């Protein structure tokens, strides 16, 4: 398996633009997580899905953020409109089950909003 695949690896966009981050989880994993990593706040859980259904989105910072998982092999995280404070590394992870199993992380998308 190629692991969790995220795209793009790097994204630079202007404030106000829409940004879409993409994630392909490991085949057979039924839980998917989106995390954001910043120097100030560390790793924060934004949202997670179980069997393609959003379970907890309480970490999504604002209505500007939305996430979808239309099928078991694809998820998106969208920011519209983007702001400079959204600049961070966004990680997608997948696992079999949400708790006791370790997660497999993608390589992340480094987002810079200027």
Partner 1 sequence: GDSVTQMEGPVTLSEEAFLTINCTYTATGYPSLFWYVQYPGEGLQLLLKATKADDKGSNKGFEATYRKETTSFHLEKGSVQVSDSAVYFCALTGNTPLVFGKGTRLSVIA
What residue ranges bind partner 1 (CB under 8 A)? 4, 31, 33, 42-43, 45, 48, 56, 91, 93, 98-100, 102-108
Least distance between partner 1 and beta carbon 46 (Å)? 10
Least distance between partner 1 and beta carbon 81 (Å)? 27
Least distance between partner 1 and beta carbon 20 (Å)? 19
Name the residue nearer to partner 1 (CB basis): 56 or 76. Answer: 56
Three-point CA angle 96, 19, 76, nearest 5°: 20
Name the residue nearer to partner 1 (CB basis): 81 or 98. Answer: 98
Least distance between partner 1 and beta carbon 74 (Å)? 18
Name the residue nearer to partner 1 (CB basis): 23 or 113. Answer: 23
Question: Is the separation of the CB atoms in 85 and 70 below 8 Å?
Answer: no
Question: Is the separation of the CB atoms in 67 and 55 below 8 Å?
Answer: no
Name the residue nearer to partner 1 (CB basis): 80 or 101. Answer: 101
Residue 40 buriedness (CB in 10 A; 0-12 / 13-18 / 19+): exposed
């Amino acid at each position: 398996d190629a692991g969790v695949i995220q795209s793009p690896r790097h994204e630079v966009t202007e404030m106000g633009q829409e940004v879409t981050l993409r994630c392909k989880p490991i085949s057979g994993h039924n839980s998917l997580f989106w995390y954001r990593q910043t120097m100030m706040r560390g790793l924060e859980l934004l949202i997670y899905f179980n069997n393609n259904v959003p379970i907890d989105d309480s970490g999504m910072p604002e209505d500007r953020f939305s996430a979808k998982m239309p099928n078991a092999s694809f998820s998106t995280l969208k920011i519209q409109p983007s702001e400079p404070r959204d600049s961070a590394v966004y990680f997608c992870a997948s696992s079999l089950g949400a708790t006791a199993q370790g997660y497999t992380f993608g390589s992340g998308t480094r987002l810079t909003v200027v």
